Chains A and B, each alone.
Chain A
């Protein structure tokens, strides 16, 4: 057995279960909550809220900007063409390409960072129950070790519809 989990019908019961598990000495890191929708109104959903996605998106934008600048400037210098009397390296038209590639850098980095930090794509984890898709909320503890009874008791007392184990 690597995990023990309970299925709950209501988010209020999930909050009670999480609080009870914490009081039983289980760390936040070992508690997993899985649901078919986000529950921003409840404290239990606020774990792991700190994220680097915004700074990473900014870095992606910067990479896009530098790439676009290099692409346009180096291309124009390598194959200089006279177009309508404009300078060979024409800043104003290049800004259009630079802007688009900057935003593309931000977008692609955001999506890449999402996949990495949310661990996607992956196999469906062992600690999962298809009943989640029927609206039930899973509260599980990975590697409960010696605390199995305490975890089971906490889940049952908090109103779990059913308590199961996962290998």
Chain B
């Protein structure tokens, strides 16, 4: 085995085979957040959703904000990984699994919120198409049912997209461990040997999955946007919402990925694998998405302002200079001013700079989701129904606990699974192909020929 291959295996398997006090500390801290969230959820199930700050006509607030936010965060992983895989970007190799794990966990957290928000979470299965004895079938014209299909498809696809490339790595762990660990990883490896046929099939399957998962990812957040744009509510009923939501989702997803990668690099000592160039590249992507997000916000706001339709302009001014203005301008600062100021300058586009910009974006994008939902609901068409919203403690605890849940899932995942795909990283270390025969030289030349 080459020295680099041995080093890659040793470095990336170390977190699995050795447990430090930091792991227990992180599990304890994040676990406390999750316990607090579970307690808050139990409290609201016991007392009913009257414990929230919701009141007519604002029936969507924190929970739906969290739902949209976490579904957005989920766009970091599978979508980016699939795109980079299809274009064969070599720098993707250390990044993909970190990213795909974010998708899986963020989707789980996000998908939980519509169920929480039902008020009677035990009846969530009414969304599923099953032959009900009460003859209540899903109404396929309801965006909530579209959510069910879209999120289920994306979650299934993302979990498989994450799991398939883990099989060869599980086989590696199986062969390097003993006892119970060997049996568990042996079962997870499914008997993988690594024949040329298995490698071909795996890589072909990943190509197909990448092709299939990209439109699904785009559709998921478009459908989440339909939850709003299908409703005749001021500033919701907009054709721009689909792409606007997708852009925002990718934006927040990249930010989450940068933060996760920086944390992994620091805590798992992955400096040799997660290089500054990875942060540089993702930082450029974040800057691009910041500009795209700003463009969408400008296009949406200008149209509303120019149209001067009374109900919409009421929402517009409430966010520009009314009760929601502090949140709105904080959002603009977090999503545009800070990332643009940092990421547009090469010397500031360091790991620290990218992390600062990403933290700002995560905060800004949560505010953006909140500001899409609440001001519109609080300024509906008839002024007599205008109202305000103030979040209550159970909602705040539940929201904060989701970040703890994300941290906990990520820490546990990186403890039990190589957080960087070992075999893909080794492939990245292969020297460039040198043509051994005239036929091979011709193949390579064909690939790089400018004119067909």
Residues of A within 8 A of B (CB): 9, 32-41, 44-49, 51, 53-54, 57, 71-72, 75-76, 78-79, 81, 83-84, 86, 90, 93-94, 96-97, 99-101, 103-104, 106-108, 110-111, 113-115, 117-125, 128, 130, 132-136
Contact = CB atoms under 8 A, between A and B. Distances in A.
Contacts of A114: 164, 201-202, 204-205
A51 B200 contact: yes
A100 B153 contact: yes
Contacts of B153: 100-101, 103-104, 107
The 7 closest A-B pairs by CB, nearest first: A135-B1, A133-B175, A121-B190, A122-B191, A38-B199, A114-B205, A48-B197
A37 B191 contact: no
B135 A33 contact: no
Given A57-B212, A124-B191, A136-B1, A107 B201 contact: no
Nearest to A122: B191
Question: For B135, B175, B201, B219, which residue has the most chain A Cβ atoms within 10 angstroms?
Answer: B201
Given A114-B202, A120-B167, A133-B176, A36 B194 contact: yes
Contacts of B175: 130, 132-134
Contacts of B433: 41
B348 interface: no
20 contacts: A34-B193, A35-B194, A36-B171, A38-B203, A45-B200, A54-B204, A57-B208, A75-B129, A75-B138, A93-B140, A99-B215, A100-B150, A100-B153, A104-B156, A107-B213, A108-B156, A110-B208, A122-B191, A124-B186, A132-B175
Given A48-B200, A103-B157, A54 B208 contact: yes
A83 B139 contact: yes
The size class of the interface chain B forms with chain A is 35 or more
A39 B433 CA distance: 10
A34 B5 CA distance: 16
Given A48-B200, A49-B200, A78 B208 contact: no
Contacts of B324: none
A120 B171 contact: no
B95 interface: no
Contacts of B192: 120
A45 B423 contact: no
Contact of B141 (A83, A115, A128): A83
B141 A104 contact: no
A36 to B, nearest CB: 6
A119 B191 CA distance: 9
B219 A53 contact: no
Contacts of B172: 36, 133
Contacts of A128: 193
B149 interface: yes
B137 A97 contact: no
Contacts of B9: 133-135
Contact of A37 (B176, B205, B209, B427): B427
Contacts of B430: 39, 41
B145 interface: yes
B6 interface: yes
B117 interface: no
Nearest to A12: B436
Contacts of A32: 195
B303 interface: no
